[in-house]
Structure 1
């Protein structure tokens, strides 16, 4: 890679880091191309050397935000203990209060639901991976409990951030966390060998 290509890659990385931080904190619509480029000491005109459009930038920044926030998500293998630890971390006061550095799914799911197909495709793929990793940790053959767990975690975290009474917000996180911790035990049909 030549010197100018390396500089271009560094500039693109700075733009994506800043845009990812902005969208996790303020949503997809919070990104202004002009302000973003100024914040990374680049010209507005230079934007199109890095991205085809604002929609392209948002999809790439969303991908970056999802990867950056992935530390809060299940990591695949590790079994029930890893699942329980992931639930405790995800449904914590610290995570609730760290929107700009936490899971981008809970911070942006409503925005992406109203976004273009490119951004939806990026997040949908991430959610499928999240469900798959959770299913693997639970040791299940199908996705039903994993879909429930992911939905409960993302929903509870998003709702807890809206609540103005911090004690009630904490109670919501605690209540959902308690219900999900019951997943540590093998489900009844797996214990009895019965199938629905």
Structure 2
């Protein structure tokens, strides 16, 4: 007896949801198709009815993880027109630093994605480009390099702050990046 399209869609949703959670908690390499399918209460063989390959799954799950991280960030920051200062302050904050599995998936997974295949890198690249566009819009600058720099500095500072074992030093990384990014904006 076959499954309805609705059943298939629900199964795919369970797979994607589980994979996105695994990626956010353990990185790209934490996803095992066999374990993933068991956790979604599906058979290993059924995987290929939903995805052509593990790589395709990872690209879709990464997309999901980044959308979830973006939604959580925007909910904490407030929606509406991008405000550069609010974005910098919120992104480079202690709560965001501590939100490793629910915060920005770009900062959490960039190292993994840099070693991944092209479809997975393209998925994250598109999100980074949208982040740059939002910051560029918020900066209202004639220099598009400033938005590229600001996004790179925010992501980098968040990653470094998460690595620092000493909390005071981690706070100092966030504070220094925040000061410099806000001062750059004031000079504009």
- TM superposition score normalised by structure 2: 0.90
Distance 1:28 1:84 in 2: 32
Q: How does 1:45-56 map to 2 (within 5 A)?
A: 45-56=45-56
Bigger mean CA deviation after superposition, 63-72 or 43-52: 63-72
Q: What is the aligned residue count? A: 183
3-state DSSP class of the match of 2:142? coil
| Structure 1 alignment gaps of length 5 or more | 188-196
Aligned to 2:118: 117
Whether the aligned pair in 2 keeps the contact of 1:76 and 1:136 (CA below 8 Å) is no
Matches of 1:101 and 1:63, distance apart in 2: 14
> 3-state SS of the aligned residue for 1:99?
coil
Measured against aligned partners, the alpha-carbon deviations of 1:16-56 in whole angstroms (never above 9, x if no partner) come to 11111111221110101111111111111111111000001
* Match in the other structure for 2:94: 93
5+ residue gaps in structure 2? Answer: none
What is the distance in 2 between the residues matched to 1:175 and 1:61?
Answer: 33
Separation in 1, partners of 2:166, 2:56: 38
Shift, 1:92, TM fit: 1.1
- Distance between the aligned counterparts of 1:103 and 1:182, measured in 2? 23
Query: Counterpart of 1:78?
Result: 81
Q: CA deviation at 1:115?
A: 0.5
Partner residue in 2 for 1:194: none
Structure 1 residues 152 and 123, CA gap change in structure 2 (3 angstroms): same
Whether the 8 Å contact between 1:77 and 1:136 is mirrored in structure 2 is: no
- Worse-superposed segment, 7-16 or 57-66: 7-16
- What does 1:90-169 align with in structure 2 at a 5 Å threshold? 90-169=91-170
